[in-house]
């Protein structure tokens, strides 16, 4: 083989790095427009290229320049989060399978401005506290670090670990943010929702899978989920954050709807709390109209169908007639009653002159659909177990 045919290893590494960077940019740009299954294949290529470069191991980075090592830490952590995102987003992929768990020890990138780094630098500057150009990413990396520890070590006191993270994020980042600046405001929103997200995922029933979950645990899940919905919708309503709607949309915590609707369907609430819960559920459907679609092929298609049935169950329990029915409930009702050949208006108007108990039974048959085959107690256990399984999807963390 002639010398001209030999490819310099350094040149190959540069070419591989550039290809890897291009793949990461593509994955970030295409995630709202391409199927998760397709992007899962692409991130698989990116992971293998990263392994080829060795940037998943901190010892390999020590042999690089200070600047190159830090750039590769940033690159790897983006790959790690994107990989977990698509593994969890795709149907029929077990996110707990060791084959899908990335093993690495690359340190978290520092919270620094780009101007703090230079190709000729010989040592890293101390990490900054507060607002930098890495603010949003740094918050996500710290959340990702804790989630990895929770999953890997089985931390006994999870709620304490989550509270410590909340305090750290508030001290290092959130208290320095100016809410009049969009990026800093969305960063504050991310910090604010983190505790609710992690508590809902790791502390309130999700690893205590049982059909006999205590009343207290369920009510705690309801309280946390309601706070999470309120926080998310506050962000969605902000005109200032329109430019970041891609993020709030992509990482919206749909699973928070279940404890709220489940409580409305099976437990007694005060009038004020029930009213607020229904208000937040209505906002969820307003900001996420795809929840009403039966045709979409997203990862939560089964989630939507089951959630809609639970919404009808919850509404019918406290509001058995069409009076003041929210628009989203009307739409769900039309979808489910279409198979009977009756419209929503017809189904209720034909029952006006029936005895109250007979009218209730007829409305129940229209509202509950296939769920009417079970008693309420069975539905309660079945739906709770179903959503506990849904909670095992790490994508729901939204990081």
Question: pLDDT digits over 286-314, tens only?
Answer: 998 888 875 544 545 667 777 888 898 89
pLDDT tens readout for residues 151-199 = 766 656 888 888 999 999 999 999 999 989 999 999 998 998 888 888 8
Tokens of 271: 């009038």
| Of 399, 391, 398, residue with least CA distance to 145 | 399
| Of 207, 192, 108, 194, residue with least CA distance to 157 | 207
pLDDT value of position 396: 39
Q: Give helix 66-89 / helix 36-53 axis angle, nearest 10°.
A: 150
pLDDT value of position 370: 34
pLDDT at 7 over 50: no
CA–CA distance, 230 with 95 (Å, rounded to integer) = 29
Provide CB contacts within 8 A for 206, sequence distance 6+: 200, 388, 391, 392
The answer to whether 325 and 319 have CB atoms below 8 angstroms apart is yes
CA–CA distance, 78 with 181 (Å, rounded to integer) = 24
pLDDT value of position 365: 38
Mean pLDDT of the chain: 76
Highest averaged pLDDT of the listed ranges 71-80, 140-149, 155-164, 320-329? 71-80
pLDDT value of position 97: 56
344 or 283: which leads in pLDDT = 283
CA–CA distance, 135 with 383 (Å, rounded to integer) = 39
pLDDT band at 326 (very low <50, low <70, confident <90, very high): confident
pLDDT at 213 over 80: no
pLDDT value of position 34: 74
Three-state DSSP class for 154? coil
Three-state DSSP class for 352? coil
354 or 260: which leads in pLDDT = 260
pLDDT value of position 321: 57
| Of 236, 346, 222, 328, residue with least CA distance to 287 | 236
Query: Which residue in this structure is represented by tokens 């009977």?
Result: 340
Buried b (16+ CB within 10 A) or exposed e, 297-318: eebbeebbbbbbbbbbbbbbbe
The answer to whether 185 and 179 have CB atoms below 8 angstroms apart is yes
Q: What is the pTM of this model?
A: 0.74
Degrees (nearest 5) of the Cα angle 306, 203, 312?
A: 20
pLDDT at 376 over 50: no
149 or 377: which leads in pLDDT = 149
pLDDT tens readout for residues 68-88 = 999 999 999 999 988 877 776
Average pLDDT over every residue of 274-293: 90
208 or 124: which leads in pLDDT = 124
List the end-to-end C-alpha distance of the chain, in Å, as a whole number. Answer: 49
CA–CA distance, 244 with 182 (Å, rounded to integer) = 8
- In this structure, of 7-21, 237-251, 326-340, the range with the lowest mean pLDDT score is 7-21
Residue 341 is classified by DSSP as T
pLDDT tens readout for residues 234-266 = 988 888 888 888 777 777 888 889 889 989 988
Concatenated DSSP letters of 230-243: HHHHHHHH-GGGGG
CA–CA distance, 229 with 366 (Å, rounded to integer) = 29
pLDDT at 30 over 90: no
168 or 356: which leads in pLDDT = 168
Task: State which H helix or E strand residue 346 sits in.
Answer: helix 344-349
Query: Which residue in this structure is represented by tokens 């996110």?
Result: 95
pLDDT at 32 over 80: no
The answer to whether 259 and 225 have CB atoms below 8 angstroms apart is yes
- In this structure, of 40-54, 85-99, 320-334, the range with the lowest mean pLDDT score is 85-99
pLDDT tens readout for residues 88-116 = 667 566 555 555 567 899 999 999 999 99
Query: If DSSP states are collapsed to H, E and C, what string results for 67-114?
Result: HHHHHHHHHHHHHHHHHHHHHHHCCCCCCCCHHHCCCCCCCCCCCCCH
Q: Give helix 66-89 / helix 135-153 axis angle, nearest 10°.
A: 60
| Of 327, 316, 319, residue with least CA distance to 292 | 327
Average pLDDT over every residue of 11-19: 77
Concatenated DSSP letters of 3-63: GGGPPPHHHHHHHHHHHHHHHHHHHHHHTTTS-HHHHHHHHHHHHHHHHHHTTTSHHHHTT
The answer to whether 363 and 190 have CB atoms below 8 angstroms apart is no
């Amino acid at each position: 083989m002639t010398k001209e045919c030999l490819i310099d290893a350094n040149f190959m590494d540069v070419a591989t790095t550039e290809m890897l960077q291009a793949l990461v940019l593509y994955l970030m740009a295409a995630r709202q427009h391409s199927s998760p299954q397709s992007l899962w294949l692409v991130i698989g290529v990116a992971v293998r290229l990263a392994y080829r470069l060795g940037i998943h191991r901190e010892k390999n980075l020590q042999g690089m320049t200070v600047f190159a090592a830090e750039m590769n830490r940033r690159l790897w952590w983006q790959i790690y989060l994107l990989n977990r995102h698509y593994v969890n987003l795709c149907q029929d992929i077990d996110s707990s399978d060791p084959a899908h768990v990335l093993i690495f020890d690359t340190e978290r990138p520092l919270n620094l401005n780009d101007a703090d780094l230079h190709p000729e630098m010989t040592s890293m500057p101390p990490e900054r506290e507060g607002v930098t150009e890495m603010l949003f990413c740094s918050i996500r990396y710290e959340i990702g670090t804790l989630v990895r520890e929770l999953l890997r070590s089985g931390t006994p006191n999870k709620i304490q670990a989550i509270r410590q993270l909340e305090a750290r994020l508030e001290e290092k980042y959130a208290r320095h943010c100016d809410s009049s600046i969009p990026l800093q405001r969305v960063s504050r929103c991310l910090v604010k929702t983190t505790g609710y997200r992690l508590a809902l995922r790791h502390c309130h029933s999700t690893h205590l899978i049982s059909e006999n979950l205590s009343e207290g645990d369920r009510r705690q899940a309801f309280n946390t989920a309601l706070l999470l919905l309120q926080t998310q919708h506050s962000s969605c309503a902000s005109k200032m954050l329109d430019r970041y709607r891609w993020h709030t949309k992509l990482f919206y915590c749909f699973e928070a709807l279940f404890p709220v609707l489940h409580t409305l369907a099976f437990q007694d609430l005060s009038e004020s709390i029930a009213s607020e819960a229904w208000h937040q559920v209505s906002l969820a459907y307003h900001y996420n109209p795809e929840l009403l679609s039966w045709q979409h092929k997203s990862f939560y298609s089964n989630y939507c169908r089951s959630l809609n049935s639970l919404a009808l169950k919850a509404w019918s329990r406290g509001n058995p007639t069409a009076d003041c029915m929210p628009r989203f409930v009307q739409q769900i009702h039309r979808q489910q009653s279409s198979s009977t050949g009756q419209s929503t208006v017809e189904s209720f108007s034909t029952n006006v002159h029936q005895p109250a108990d007979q009218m209730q039974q007829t409305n129940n048959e229209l509202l509950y659909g296939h769920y009417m085959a079970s008693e309420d107690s069975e539905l309660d256990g079945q739906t709770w177990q179903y959503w506990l399984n849904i909670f095992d999807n790490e994508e729901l963390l939204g990081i």
